[in-house]
Amino acid sequence: MDMEVSMNMSNTNGDTKVVQTELNPAEYARFRRLAQEEGKSLKEALREAATEYIDAHDAPDPSDPLFAVADEMAALNEGRRGEPLAPDELDDALYERPHGDDDE
């Protein structure tokens, strides 16, 4: 017979989502024992397990425009012999402003 375990996952604005799963008796006993050994409730241990799973399996979206910045920086740094662009030079290049043309 499987045991049902549920978990509330909270985010910063107070909304919660309930996540449920089923564990067989042996899995449940092992999970409960490990949580108790670490001084954690089942809820805390499940939240930690979910977070670790997400961190291990979630990958950035390669189509995110943010990643184009890395290519731009590499192109801008080419030929500078390891000397990085100054922050204002990088901003000017990325936002297509002539160097020294600040909005201030």
pLDDT at 49: 95
Task: Summarize pLDDT for 88-102 with one digit per residue, the tens.
Answer: 877 777 676 665 545
Task: Summarize pLDDT for 6-60 with one digit per residue, the tens.
Answer: 555 544 557 888 889 999 999 999 999 999 999 999 999 999 999 999 999 888 8
pLDDT at 99: 53
Three-state secondary structure readout of the chain: CCEEEEEEEECCCCCEEEEEEEECHHHHHHHHHHHHHCCCCHHHHHHHHHHHHHHHHCCCCCCCHHHHHHHHHHHHHCCCCCCCCCHHHHHHHHCCCCCCCCCC
pLDDT at 86: 79
